[in-house]
Each structure stands twice: as structure tokens, then as C-alpha cells.
Structure 1
Amino acid sequence: MTDDAAFEDGRETPLYLGAFDTEDLQIISSLAQDAVFPITEMTWRAGERRFALLLNRFRWEDRARARQDPERVQSLLVIDNVLGVASQGIDRSDRDTVLSLLSVAFEPTGDGTGHVLLTLAGDGAIRLEIEALEVTLKDVTRPYRAPSGKMPRHDT
């Protein structure tokens, strides 16, 4: 007699997700929560209308977490159709700053336009004015042991 295959038996593959509506964006936001990134890994290419972050993302989807140390993976978070970028609570001149992403949300303004709001720990935020919602999250490295060896926590 053979047993059915379980999720844990499968080979994990890198994430590559797209969001074109708020429901999709909520999934990307939950997977990117607690990602950390140096301020130098944030770029806006105005001519391409593209804003990108190279994140060190905590692997919330890792079902094997109970059997091994917590893991992170480097991921690209890319927002397309960006018309403008504004930030608050971030000292962009301090190149040693490491930021922590709490959430990614969409605030519609009409006819598909709106703002993507990247909320950061410590009261920082980045607001992207967009023509249409198009966000991707793509893992670009193999997972690695989280340097802290711990899961992120949110004490209230």
C-alpha cells in the first residue's frame, strides 16, 4: 500500500507572484511582512515607471519551520506604473539605515489609479502614486537561516 504525497514531500520552489487587485496585494503583503532591507536597496526608475526593493523576506510560507531554524530569502518587490514617489519618516541620506516592511496596501483614487502604501516599522512610509496596480514579488536567492535564528514578533 502506498501513501498519498504530502505537501512536505514536495520540493519547495521560489515564490513568483503578481498582484493586479487588492486581494492579490493582501497575499503579497502577508508574505512580505517583516522583510528587512538596506535603504540602498530601494530604487525608482522614473523613465521605466518602476519602483523596486531588494528585500530579505522572512519565509512565512515555510511549513517546515517547526523542524528547522527560521529562514529568510532575498526577494524583489517590484511596483510598476509608478508616476511619483514620496516618503516620510525615512532619512534617505543615512546610507546605513535598515528598514523593516510591515505592510503593502492599495488606496484607490479612481479609474484604477491610486497609491501603493509601504508601511515601515518606526512610523516610516513610502507612498507610490500609480496609474494601475501591478505588483510582483519574486524570490531571487535560495533560502538562508535567519541571522537572528528567531521568528519576527509583534508585541502589542
Structure 2
Amino acid sequence: MSTDATFQDGAERPLRLVAMDGDDVQILSALCQDAVFPATEMQWQRKSRRFGILLNRFRWEDIPVAERTGRAPERVQCVLAVENVGHVSSQGVDRADTDTVMSLLSVTFEPQDGDGGAVILTFAGDGAIKLEVSDLEIALRDVTRPYASVSGKAPSHLD
């Protein structure tokens, strides 16, 4: 008999998650909320049908440990990769502006006929990217060690 994982099980291990349905996407979205990255860190590889972003993800899963130990909250660099992408469209996103720092608010999936649909990346400031996929597969993988959040606190949407 297996048991559910706990926060302590993944405390110092890099995340490696794959979303294959709408419920999985909700979990992935919660972990990616408030991730920041330069607009230049997005790439669509048309031939391989992959869209990827190198994110600086806030480690929401680490908040209980940080609060208990009194250390600063952390961020970690990770790759968000969406597979099976046939078309990309955007609104309010200027990849040519190298000074733009994007803040990811959510990742959602809108199913369509069959296994396909649209993955929507919503950013602060009314920007969005729509990725039309033939089959849902999104991977999130931490690629660096965690580092102290520059602000020293968790992001807040109340300000």
C-alpha cells in the first residue's frame, strides 16, 4: 500500500513534474505562480513542436520549511516545456524588448476535440500566450539549486 507524499519528502530535491490532464495542470500552475523571467528566455522550436521557458520559480512548496527555520524564501531556475505545440499566438507580449521581465500568473488548459486543446500562459500586465497542442504534455523541471529570494519575502498580490 502506498501513501501520499509530504512536503518533507521533497524538501531539498529538485521538482520534476509532468502534467498530462487538467488536474495536473492546476498543480503545475500553482507551483509556477509568480515565476519571473526575461522575455528573451522563451523559445518555440517549431520542428520539434516544443515551447519552453527558463523560469525563476518561487518555491511555494518550501514556505512551511522557510517559516519553521526562519530562513528567507527561495527561488530556483526551472524549465517549463510544453510538448506537441502546433501553433503559438500571443497578446501583450513583446519578445523583442530585452528589458521586459515577465511574471507568470497561471497556466491553464482548455480542452478541445480529442486529446488536444490550448495551453494558456497568463502574465501580469495583461499578457498571454496561447499554445495550441495536439496532446497535453507539460513538464516542469528544476535545473539549479535553490537560492534566496532577492526580496526576502513571498510574492503578494495584495499590494
TM over 0.5: yes
CA pair 121-69 structure 1, distance change in 2 beyond 3 A: same
C-alpha displacement at 1:96, in angstroms?
A: 1.2
Segments of 4+ in structure 1 off by > 6 A? Answer: none
Structure possessing the higher radius of gyration over alpha carbons: 1
Report the alpha carbon displacement of residue 12 of structure 1 after superposing the two structures with TM.
1.7
Long gaps (5+) in structure 1:
1-5
Are 1:23 and 2:23 an aligned pair? Answer: yes
What's the offset of the Cα at 1:94?
Answer: 0.7
Give the stretch that moved more between structures: 89-98 or 67-76.
89-98
Verify: 1:109 aligned to 2:112, yes or no: yes
CA-CA distance at 1:92 after TM superposition: 2.1
Once superposed, what is the RMSD of the aligned Cα atoms? 1.7
| Distance 1:82-1:64 versus aligned 2 partners, 3 A rule | same
Report 1:31-110 matches (<5 A): 31-62=31-62, 63-66=64-67, 67-110=70-113
1:149: how far off? 1.0
Give the alignment's TM-score, normalised by structure 1: 0.92
Residue 110 and residue 7 in structure 1: after superposition, are their counterparts in 2 closer, same or farther (change >3 A)? closer
Structure 2: distance between partners of 1:133 and 1:83: 12
Q: How many residues align?
A: 151
| Gaps in structure 2 of 5+ consecutive residues | 1-5
TM-score, with normalisation over the residues of structure 2?
Answer: 0.90
